[in-house]
Amino acid sequence: MAVDVSRALRGVSVNIKAAVARREGSLPALTPRLVAVSKTKPPAMVMEAYCHGQRHFGENYVQELVTKASNTQILSDCPEIKWHFVGHLQKSNVSKLMGTPNLFMIETIDSIKLADKVNLTWQKKKASERLKVMVQVNTSGEEKSGFGSAPEHLSVVEHNARRVLNLEFTGLMTIGRYGYDLSQGPNPDFQKLSGHRKEVCAKLDLPLDKVELSMGMSTDYAHAIEVGATSVRVGSIIFGEREYPNTPKSSQSTQGVEEAKEKMEGLTVSAN
């Protein structure tokens, strides 16, 4: 079934504006950033979204990001594209990732050692600007990347903000648990990340609007914006259901929590 990327983007935009209107006045008045996650989708779909005004795109796997970002047609036809890496990053893949054209941000820094590796590799690249990074926080306690306690993530945030010269700390990121029932109230994972931002701002003497929150995907991005998200990562609503032609069905279920969360992505636009 063909996907109407233009229509999908318009629907997500409408939902984002409505969510912003429902946001508490005490939250920073930041316009949320939409990161369109094009995982498993061809470069043609990225270019189609770009033609309809989308500029920020995300990928979960280093090789897929490098391949798409290096595509000659994307390079020529999408000069303002900004790539976000939103998956787990191993230190062994840092050098490969740093070679990505138009790399804008890494959202998943989860250790001081990784931050140092990224910092050193970006320095060797001799880029004209610092690389934007976020620190990933594990707010759900599930087995996933990120820091689970305040002392841990505060130390990494301080390290990124004050001790690495080639990286620009921009905020905190979380995946959160899959399938949270919003009828039970606000998502506690999102509330935790918001609380961690307050801790970070107090420790580093930063205003709240200088520390972003990347949280919310296709099943819950509107709610995430309502409670303070400044960046949301939306995939299948825009590009259609993920396709893994060379992956046995038995192993697709092990792709991680973020994979599972996007099984239901086609429901959000129509539900809102």
pLDDT for res 81: 98
pLDDT for res 157: 87
What amino acid is encoded at 184 in this protein? Q
How far is it, in rounded angstroms, from Cα 97 to Cα 121? 10
Question: Are the CB atoms for 220 and 264 separated by under 8 Å?
Answer: no
Task: Confirm whether 125 is domain-assigned.
Answer: yes
How far is it, in rounded angstroms, from Cα 114 to Cα 167? 12
pTM: 0.86
Task: Confirm whether 257 is domain-assigned.
Answer: no
Element spanning 133, H or E: strand 131-136
| Confidence grade of residue 269 (pLDDT, cut at 50, 70, 90) | very low
Task: Confirm whether 272 is domain-assigned.
Answer: no
The mean pLDDT value of the chain amounts to 86
How far is it, in rounded angstroms, from Cα 18 to Cα 21? 5
Token pair of 250 as six digits: 């038995």
Q: Residue 146: is its pLDDT beyond 60?
A: no
240 Cβ contact partners less than 8 Å away, ≥ 6 residues apart: 1, 3, 41
- CATH (domain of 143): 3.20.20.10
Task: Confirm whether 251 is domain-assigned.
Answer: no
pLDDT for res 145: 52
Number of domains, the chain: 1
pLDDT for res 263: 39
Task: Confirm whether 261 is domain-assigned.
Answer: no
How far is it, in rounded angstroms, from Cα 13 to Cα 54? 10
52 Cβ contact partners less than 8 Å away, ≥ 6 residues apart: 5, 6, 9
Element spanning 75, H or E: helix 72-77
Of 121-130, 200-209, 250-259, the poorest mean pLDDT is in: 250-259
How far is it, in rounded angstroms, from Cα 85 to Cα 133? 10
Task: Confirm whether 265 is domain-assigned.
Answer: no
Task: Confirm whether 20 is domain-assigned.
Answer: yes
Mean pLDDT, residues 81-97 = 97
Residue in this structure with the two tokens 């790539």, named with its chain if needed = 83
Element spanning 158, H or E: helix 150-162
Element spanning 19, H or E: helix 5-21
Task: Confirm whether 271 is domain-assigned.
Answer: no
270 Cβ contact partners less than 8 Å away, ≥ 6 residues apart: none
How far is it, in rounded angstroms, from Cα 136 to Cα 128? 25
Show the domain range for 64.
5-179+186-234
